[in-house]
Chains A and B, each alone.
Chain A
């Protein structure tokens, strides 16, 4: 059971370049989300999705785009990378029903924008 997977693990971009961070889960979870982690800031929510075709903004959505065409995948797109987007990015998933709906995290992607 792979859980939540993210690719790539590391990425270096130049300002203005675009890229997509991939996230997939094999637990049939409806809820998926993207966080960024910056020193001294904890984890801040970028976007989330409660099912295929449904997405919503989190605390820091500017500069990022998401879509959810399948239950398994939730890619995060940077259309024009900026140095302020240098961060570690985490994808997470969980069930939306039941009380024991633990959130599972991927291993993270370290992104550097020069």
Chain B
């Protein structure tokens, strides 16, 4: 079974600084997706960024970027110019590329942003 590991239960960053959240995963598949979701205090799950495993180029979305290391099975999230609104739980997730497979989540990292 696929597993997703987030080794940092909590992280903090100064406003305007950069922070990197770690994620590793275990799979024998070659075609899959990886995601980072943000969950603010409102509880809503918000997709931050996604990466398709067959694409070597790292995905970016404005201040959010990933470092995807397929051989190492690592998928870290970098948040640049951190803002107070970035404070949230962040979940890393994996899904094999098949129509019926579920999304598997890590346990999450709580990010605090210090003004």
Contacts and interface: CB of A to CB of B under 8 A. Distances in A.
Q: In the complex, which range does the number of interface residues on chain A fall in? A: 20 to 34
Interface stretch (B13-21, B44-52, B58-66, B76-84): B44-52
A102 B108 contact: no
A45 interface: yes
B99 interface: yes
Given A40-B9, A105-B45, A96 B99 contact: yes
A90 B37 CA distance: 14
A41 B107 contact: yes
B102 A96 contact: no
A90 B100 CA distance: 18
Interface in B46-100: 47, 50, 52, 91, 95, 97, 99-100
Contacts, number: 50
Interface residues of B, number: 23
A92 to B, nearest CB: 8
Contact of B106 (A42, A45, A101): A42
Interface of B: 4, 6, 9, 35, 42-45, 47, 50, 52, 91, 95, 97, 99-100, 102-108
